[in-house]
Chains A and B, each alone.
Chain A
């Protein structure tokens, strides 16, 4: 067990390093000149040969491995970045300085985290809350009319691309029906602007995410449950005359939850890494919306930082899922 965790940890660190390197290289060699966007911005589009100053101060004339080393060092101990004639302090963990605002990316990133996490946690809570019980109920009534209707309608909903589903939710609930309580979507800090503002701003996003996720988790749970209920030990339990409640919840559900929890772990990690469509449609100022704006504003350091941040979150969540899974299901460790 311990050896397995250590092995997974090492491979996790390796993946983080590789991904951060890949992203760094991408932003180094990808653009024809990575300094162009900032030069254009600062000179009101009269960059011309001033580009050389920007390239020089940003370090694009140095060998790439040296700059990557500086970047890594900055992440651990902080650094001072120079853009043209201005110096910018960037404390650890330094992920660079935004081309647009000249603020350390880390600080803005941290200020965006609560919004994205609120969306992710609320949405995930909703779809687990409804998805799993509905899935279990459907599995118990397997083959009934209700089950068939539920499965096919949920299959239909989950075949619609999520962003269209969310868009329709938003349009219908705010434009057509004009539900005034929830029409002002967005992230409001529960501390400074009150829990109600926070709740009403995010409510629609949760609903969209919740319903859509619920259709999928219902199908998952139902599938896992059906499989678990057909196992031999369930038959044994039935033969022993255990009450069907006990069989379903104590023996069936426990086994069925293992794959569901695993899938949820990865899903949730992806949500934490940025709910781009949800944030875009419901105008929530989280990481996804921010990185989308950075893309449109050619704010390369922000895009780079969000990419690295999201990748790290995903890798960590995958790692956790693997470890949890190995705890839940001993067969994994053996193989």
Chain B
């Protein structure tokens, strides 16, 4: 059963696989042909939407990598100020007029204003939130695709009982929504590690693990399908006849031909993971140390702040939406570019 889930709330199930593919399709043959990457890149460069999205993504990557230097360039930092210096405790904890909007004019000292109640600088938190988000999503996507590729390769190439068992596990993991898994694991991780010194790091690592653990199935399926068709091809047969060890066939012969599906699955996973990271933080079961878009959204979503200080909510929200949207569109474009069937 390989139906693709899509509805809201199901965003947890991470079904990142594209439309089910017929193993004997044209696609596999073409990709196995000559220099498909170059063709794909050429197509991408001509796709205006893809170029814009790539630039947006690049912008976020720069923000994430250089979060520190950019912050100091603007003269802002994650440091906590004394709250009463920046916010007015008797005016609902909103920023004082000299701190910029909503009560005063724009100021270069705090280009994005300061947070109500604590007076922390929004720009610095936004940049570092971007870093956390991209870091977690990227690492998790890499791990998930490694697991997916290995499982898919083994399952597709070995066939038989191995394939049956692995497919069973793929199906089983697919039935468990990611959100449910995260929700289940959260109190356990909390109970076990809450006294350790580097709980924050453990929290991020376990988040990555959970994302990877429930995100690999799409890749595994995709790869399995590809391998099923590839393994009947002449060059694989030849390698077999020559007595090449299975491991060598898998990694030297098959893997290079799987570059396209792997890139596709990573590009589909990234936006899902970014959205999930922020979503979990919003629910209070992901990153909880405050430097996270999801946590900023959670803090800003109270009606009082939203009414008087909507920018505070829009900043992290625009971050999440723009990043997820451009990653999604870019992923679609990459998929189109790599897939000759959908050439426009």
Asked if A and B touch directly (CB within 8 angstroms), the answer is yes
Q: Which residues of A contact B328 (CB under 8 A)?
A: 159
Report the bound CA distance from A30 to B192 in whole Å: 7
Q: Which residues of A contact B3 (CB under 8 A)?
A: 259, 262-263, 265-266, 321, 325
Q: Is the CB of B7 within 8 A of A216?
A: yes
**Option from A15, A220, A278, A321 in Cβ contact (under 8 Å) with B172:** A15
Q: Is the CB of B324 within 8 A of A26?
A: no
B179 at the interface (CB under 8 A from A): yes
Report the bound CA distance from A228 to B300 in whole Å: 46
A5 at the interface (CB under 8 A from B): no
Report the bound CA distance from A304 to B187 in whole Å: 10
**Nearest-neighbor residue (CB-CB) of A296 within chain B:** B284
A295 at the interface (CB under 8 A from B): yes
Q: Is the CB of A31 within 8 A of B7?
A: no
Scan B1-31; emit 1 where CB is below 8 A from any A CB, else 0: 1011111111111000000000000000000
For A15, A165, A275, A294, which residue has the most chain B Cβ atoms within 10 angstroms? Answer: A15
Q: Which residues of A contact B329 (CB under 8 A)?
A: 155, 159
**Option from A123, A208, A276 in Cβ contact (under 8 Å) with B179:** A276
**Nearest-neighbor residue (CB-CB) of A124 within chain B:** B7
**Nearest-neighbor residue (CB-CB) of A166 within chain B:** B8
**Option from B177, B183, B191, B313 in Cβ contact (under 8 Å) with A31:** B191
Q: Is the CB of A175 within 8 A of B1?
A: no
Residue total for A at the interface (Cβ-Cβ under 8 A): 76
Q: Is the CB of B190 within 8 A of A314?
A: no
| 8 Å CB interface, A314-331 against B | 314-315, 318, 321-322, 325
Scan B271-300; emit 1 where CB is below 8 A from any A CB, else 0: 100010011001111000000000001000
**Nearest-neighbor residue (CB-CB) of B316 within chain A:** A164
Report the bound CA distance from A165 to B324 in whole Å: 13
How many whole Å from B279's CB to the nearest CB in chain A?
5
How many whole Å from A27's CB to the nearest CB in chain B?
7
Report the bound CA distance from A166 to B301 in whole Å: 12
Residue total for B at the interface (Cβ-Cβ under 8 A): 51
**Nearest-neighbor residue (CB-CB) of A299 within chain B:** B187
B321 at the interface (CB under 8 A from A): yes
**Option from A27, A159, A175, A307 in Cβ contact (under 8 Å) with B307:** A175
Q: Is the CB of A303 within 8 A of B184?
A: yes
Q: Which residues of A contact B180 (CB under 8 A)?
A: 273-274, 307, 310-311
* Given A159-B324, A270-B13, A298 and B306 contact (CB-CB distance below 8 Å): no
**Nearest-neighbor residue (CB-CB) of A302 within chain B:** B187
Report the bound CA distance from A30 to B180 in whole Å: 16
Tally of A-B residue pairs with Cβ under 8 A? 170
Q: Which residues of A contact B270 (CB under 8 A)?
A: none
Q: Is the CB of B186 within 8 A of A295?
A: yes
**Nearest-neighbor residue (CB-CB) of A167 within chain B:** B301
| 8 Å CB interface, A267-304 against B | 267-268, 270-271, 273-278, 280, 291-292, 294-296, 298, 300, 303-304
Q: Which residues of A contact B190 (CB under 8 A)?
A: 298
B303 at the interface (CB under 8 A from A): yes
A194 at the interface (CB under 8 A from B): no
A149 at the interface (CB under 8 A from B): no
A127 at the interface (CB under 8 A from B): yes
B188 at the interface (CB under 8 A from A): yes
* Given A270-B177, A298-B190, A216 and B6 contact (CB-CB distance below 8 Å): yes
Q: Which residues of B contact A304 (CB under 8 A)?
A: 184
Q: Is the CB of B188 within 8 A of A280?
A: no
**Nearest-neighbor residue (CB-CB) of A274 within chain B:** B180
| 8 Å CB interface, A97-145 against B | 123-124, 127
**Option from A167, A171, A298, A311 in Cβ contact (under 8 Å) with B175:** A311
**Option from B1, B6, B171, B283 in Cβ contact (under 8 Å) with A321:** B1
How many whole Å from A119's CB to the nearest CB in chain B?
9
Q: Which residues of A contact B183 (CB under 8 A)?
A: 276, 291-292, 295, 303, 306-307
Q: Is the CB of A37 within 8 A of B191?
A: yes
Report the bound CA distance from A264 to B284 in whole Å: 29
**Option from B175, B188, B191, B301 in Cβ contact (under 8 Å) with A318:** B175
Q: Is the CB of A300 within 8 A of B177?
A: no
How many whole Å from A6's CB to the nearest CB in chain B?
16
B269 at the interface (CB under 8 A from A): no
B142 at the interface (CB under 8 A from A): no
A174 at the interface (CB under 8 A from B): yes
Give 10 nearest A-B pairs by CB, closest first.
A30-B188, A267-B7, A161-B275, A31-B191, A162-B8, A262-B3, A212-B8, A307-B184, A175-B303, A159-B325
14 contacts between A and B (CB under 8 A): A31-B191, A32-B191, A33-B191, A162-B9, A167-B297, A209-B8, A209-B9, A266-B10, A267-B5, A310-B177, A311-B176, A314-B176, A318-B1, A322-B1
